C-alpha cells in the first residue's frame, strides 16, 4: 500500500439528496459527490523536503431559483448533512433578490460514465519510485556542470472520482487521474542569475512522465540559461519581426484570447476579481487579428492536463473556436451565461473541487496549425527575434495590454539565428499581437499550467500552446 486509494461513491445518497432538493421545485438542482486522493513528494537539492498523502470525500448542492443561486458544500458525507446543504442552498438562493430572474440554457439530460485510463496506476507507484525519478532529474541537472541553486522539484498526483446528478435527469460518473511535476531552478553564471519555473502535467497514469523526457529537458534548460547569461545581449528597442515559440503562443492564447472570451467575464460576473473583458456580447464576427489568428479550446484532447468529457453541469465537452481567421467567433459558455446571451452551453463549466462553485473555465487553448515549417518562419526574417519561452508576464483585467519577457530568445539575422537575446520584452495590445501574425507553422506543442480565477480563487488544470507563429514589425525592447 502506498497511501489511500479511491473509494466507491454512494450513488444512492446523491439520488436521495437530489430528491430532497427537488421538493422545492427549483429551476435547477444539482448534487455532486466527490472522492479525491492526492499525493505529493518534493525534493530540495536532491534531498526529501516533504511527503504528503491525503484522501478527501465531499459533496455539494447547487439550487437555482428565479430569485438567485445557492451553493453549499461540505466534506461531511451523509444524508443528514445533505439535507442541511439543501436547506442552506435553498435559503441562499431565496436571498439573491435578483432583478433579472435566474435562467439556465436547456440542455439534454445525460446518463453516462467516463474515465481516463492509466497504463500504470498512480496508486501503485511507491514513494521510493517517485523519489528515485526526482533524484535522477536532479542528478542529470547537476551533471551539466552548470551552477544551479534551489533545485526544488515536486511531483504531485491526484485521482478524482465524481458522481453528478441534476434535476433535469443527468447522471454522470467519472474518474480522472492527473500527474504533475514542477521544477524550480536558479542558474548562476558570471555573478548573474536566471530563474526557471517549469511545469509538466497530464491526465493519465505514471507512464505520462516518460513523455516529458525531463532527464534531458531540464539539463538542457540549465545549459541554455547559462548561455543566455554568458552570451545574451539586450535587444536595442525598436521594431522587429518576431517568431514566437509554442510556449509563448500558448500563454498569449490563454491570456489574450481565452480569458477575454469567457462569457462570465464578458457579462461582468468576475468584475471585482479577475476583471471584465474588452470583448462585449455584440462583438461576435468582429475583427481582432489577422486571417492567421485561429485559436481553439478543446477539452477533449486525450491525455492533456485540461481534459474532460463532460463539464460540471453535465454538458458534453467539445472544441470551441474562439478566434477564427481573425474574427471573434465563440465565447466560453456555461448554462447561465448561455441563457443570458441566447445560446447553448458549450461545456465550459468547471470547478477545482466539490467545495467550490462551478464557473466558466478554459481547458486546452491553442493556435490552430498552419502550413509553414518552423525553419521557414525563421528563414524568411531579415532582422528579428525568436522568443521561445517566457518568464515574467501579465495582462490587464480587460485582457487588452499584455507583456511577455523572454526566458529563451535569439536574434535572427538574414534568416539565421544569431546568438541569445536576453530578457527580450514584448509589451503589446491584444489586436496588436493577433493582428501582426502573417505565418503559422504546422507542429503544435502544448504546455500545462494552472489557471487562477473565481473567488476564492480556483486553480484549474489547463494546457496552452500552438505552433510557431511569425509577427511582423512589433516593438521589442
Partner 1 sequence: MNRLTELAERVMESSREAGATDAVAEVIESYTQQVRFSNSQIDAVNSWTEKHVALFVAVGKRVVSSDVRDIGAAETIAKSFVEMAKRTPPSKSYGGVASGKFKYRTARPDKRLIQLKNPARFAYDSIDAAERAGANNVGGTFFVRHDKVGLASSGGARGSDERASSDLSVRAFSQAEASGHAVCCASRLSGMNAVKTGERAGELAVKAKNPVHGNQGRADLILEPLCLGSFVQSTSDMMSALRVEISTSMFVKKIGKRVASDEVTFLDDPTVDSTTTRLFDHEGVPTRKNVMIRNGILKTYFHNTSTAKRFKTRTTASAGPLIPTAFTFAAQPIPLHPIVAPGDWTKDEMIADTAHGLYLNNTWYTRYQNYDTGEFSSIPRDAILAIEHGEIVGAVRNIRVSDNMLNFWKSVDALSKSQEEIYWWDEAAPPSHLPIVRARAMNITRSS
Contacts of partner 1 in 101-140 (CB under 8 A)? 126-128, 131
Rounded CA-CA distance 85/354 in Å is: 13
Is the Cβ of residue 159 or residue 298 nearer to partner 1 in the bound state? Answer: 159
275 touches partner 1 (CB under 8 A): yes
Rounded CA-CA distance 90/128 in Å is: 48
Tell me which of 112, 113, 139, 394 binds partner 1, using CB under 8 A.
Answer: 394
Pairing of strands 238-244, 295-297: unpaired
CB of 379 to partner 1, least distance (A): 27
CB of 401 to partner 1, least distance (A): 5
Site for partner 1 in 284-343 (CB under 8 A): none
Is the Cβ of residue 50 or residue 373 nearer to partner 1 in the bound state? Answer: 50
DSSP 262: B
* Residues in a beta bridge with 34: 58, 162
Look at the chain and count its residues. 477
Is the Cβ of residue 51 or residue 418 nearer to partner 1 in the bound state? Answer: 51
CB of 147 to partner 1, least distance (A): 11
Q: In this structure, are residues 380 and 315 in contact, taking their beta carbons and an 8 Å threshold?
A: no
Is the Cβ of residue 80 or residue 414 nearer to partner 1 in the bound state? Answer: 80
48-87 mask for partner 1 (x: CB under 8 A)? xxxxxxxxxxx---------xxxxxxxxx----x---x--
Tell me which of 168, 189, 393, 417 binds partner 1, using CB under 8 A.
Answer: 393
272 touches partner 1 (CB under 8 A): yes
Burial of 159 (0-12, 13-18, 19+ CB in 10 A): buried
Tell me which of 114, 401, 415, 438 binds partner 1, using CB under 8 A.
Answer: 401
Rounded CA-CA distance 101/68 in Å is: 7
Q: In this structure, are residues 438 and 290 in contact, taking their beta carbons and an 8 Å threshold?
A: yes
Rounded CA-CA distance 201/209 in Å is: 8
How many residues of this chain bind partner 1 (CB under 8 A)? 90
Site for partner 1 in 364-383 (CB under 8 A): none
229 touches partner 1 (CB under 8 A): no
Tell me which of 16, 142, 343, 355 binds partner 1, using CB under 8 A.
Answer: 355
Longest dimension (CA), the chain: 73
344 touches partner 1 (CB under 8 A): no
Tell me which of 107, 262, 313, 357 binds partner 1, using CB under 8 A.
Answer: 357
Is the Cβ of residue 33 or residue 267 nearer to partner 1 in the bound state? Answer: 267
Is the Cβ of residue 108 or residue 237 nearer to partner 1 in the bound state? Answer: 237
* Residues in a beta bridge with 114: 174
3-state secondary structure of 73: strand
Radius of gyration of the chain (CA): 24
Pairing of strands 171-189, 192-203: antiparallel
Q: In this structure, are residues 219 and 138 in contact, taking their beta carbons and an 8 Å threshold?
A: no
Tell me which of 32, 198, 269, 320 binds partner 1, using CB under 8 A.
Answer: 269
Stretch that binds partner 1, among 164-172, 207-215, 292-300, 400-408 (CB under 8 A): 400-408
CB of 442 to partner 1, least distance (A): 30
16 touches partner 1 (CB under 8 A): no
Where do runs of H (alpha helix) occur along 177-275? Answer: 208-212, 214-231, 246-253, 263-266
CB of 425 to partner 1, least distance (A): 8
Is the Cβ of residue 121 or residue 193 nearer to partner 1 in the bound state? Answer: 193
Is the Cβ of residue 2 or residue 324 nearer to partner 1 in the bound state? Answer: 2
- Cis peptide bond prior to 456, omega within 30° of 0: yes
Is the Cβ of residue 301 or residue 426 nearer to partner 1 in the bound state? Answer: 426
3-state secondary structure of 135: helix
Q: In this structure, are residues 365 and 250 in contact, taking their beta carbons and an 8 Å threshold?
A: yes
**How many CA atoms lie less than 13 Å away from 400 in the CB half-sphere?**
7
Site for partner 1 in 188-207 (CB under 8 A): 193-195
448 touches partner 1 (CB under 8 A): no
Amino acid at each position: 500500500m502506498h497511501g489511500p486509494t479511491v473509494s466507491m461513491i454512494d450513488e444512492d445518497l446523491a439520488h436521495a439528496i437530489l430528491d430532497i432538493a427537488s421538493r422545492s421545485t427549483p429551476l435547477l438542482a444539482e448534487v455532486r459527490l466527490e472522492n479525491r486522493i492526492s499525493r505529493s513528494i518534493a525534493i530540495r537539492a536532491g534531498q526529501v523536503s516533504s511527503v504528503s498523502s491525503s484522501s478527501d470525500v465531499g459533496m455539494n448542492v447547487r439550487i437555482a431559483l428565479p430569485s438567485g443561486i445557492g451553493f453549499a458544500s461540505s466534506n461531511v458525507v451523509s444524508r443528514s448533512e445533505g439535507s442541511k446543504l439543501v436547506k442552506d442552498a435553498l435559503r441562499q438562493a431565496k436571498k439573491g433578490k435578483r432583478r433579472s430572474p435566474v435562467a439556465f440554457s436547456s440542455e439534454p439530460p445525460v446518463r453516462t460514465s467516463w474515465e481516463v485510463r492509466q497504463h500504470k496506476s498512480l496508486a501503485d507507484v511507491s514513494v521510493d519510485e517517485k523519489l528515485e525519478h526526482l533524484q535522477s532529474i536532479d542528478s542529470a541537472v547537476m551533471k551539466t556542470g552548470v551552477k544551479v541553486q534551489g533545485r526544488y522539484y515536486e511531483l504531485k498526483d491526484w485521482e478524482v472520482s465524481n458522481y453528478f446528478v441534476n434535476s433535469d435527469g443527468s447522471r454522470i460518473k467519472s474518474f480522472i487521474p492527473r500527474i504533475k511535476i514542477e521544477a524550480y531552478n536558479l542558474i548562476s553564471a558570471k555573478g548573474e542569475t536566471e530563474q526557471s519555473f517549469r511545469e509538466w502535467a497530464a491526465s493519465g497514469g505514471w507512464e505520462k512522465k516518460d513523455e516529458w523526457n525531463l532527464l534531458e529537458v531540464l539539463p538542457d534548460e540549465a545549459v541554455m540559461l547559462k548561455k543566455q547569461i554568458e552570451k545574451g545581449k539586450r535587444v536595442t528597442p525598436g521594431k522587429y519581426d518576431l517568431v514566437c515559440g509554442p510556449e509563448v503562443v500558448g500563454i498569449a492564447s490563454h491570456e489574450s484570447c481565452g480569458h477575454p472570451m469567457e462569457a462570465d467575464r464578458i457579462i461582468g460576473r468576475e468584475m471585482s476579481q479577475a476583471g471584465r473583458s474588452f470583448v462585449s456580447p455584440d462583438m461576435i464576427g468582429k475583427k481582432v487579428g489577422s486571417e492567421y489568428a485561429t485559436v481553439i479550446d478543446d477539452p477533449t484532447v486525450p491525455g492533456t492536463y485540461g481534459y474532460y468529457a463532460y463539464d460540471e453541469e453535465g454538458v458534453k465537452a467539445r472544441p470551441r473556436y474562439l478566434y477564427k481567421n481573425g474574427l471573434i467567433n465563440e465565447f466560453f459558455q456555461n448554462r447561465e451565461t448561455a441563457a443570458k446571451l441566447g445560446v447553448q452551453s458549450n461545456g465550459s463549466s468547471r470547478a477545482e473541487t466539490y467545495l467550490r462553485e462551478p464557473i466558466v473555465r478554459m481547458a486546452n487553448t491553442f493556435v490552430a496549425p498552419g502550413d509553414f515549417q518552423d525553419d521557414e518562419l525563421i528563414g524568411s526574417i531579415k532582422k528579428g527575434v525568436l522568443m521561445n519561452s517566457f518568464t515574467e508576464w501579465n495582462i490587464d483585467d480587460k485582457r487588452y495590454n499584455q507583456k511577455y519577457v523572454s526566458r529563451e530568445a535569439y536574434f535572427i539575422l538574414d534568416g539565421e539565428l544569431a546568438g541569445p537575446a536576453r530578457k527580450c520584452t514584448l509589451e503589446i495590445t491584444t489586436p496588436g499581437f493577433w493582428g501582426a501574425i502573417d505565418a503559422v507553422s504546422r507542429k503544435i506543442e502544448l504546455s500545462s499550467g494552472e489557471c487562477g480565477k473565481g473567488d476564492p480563487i480556483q486553480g484549474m488544470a489547463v494546457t496552452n500552446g500552438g505552433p510557431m507563429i511569425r509577427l511582423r514589425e512589433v516593438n521589442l525592447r
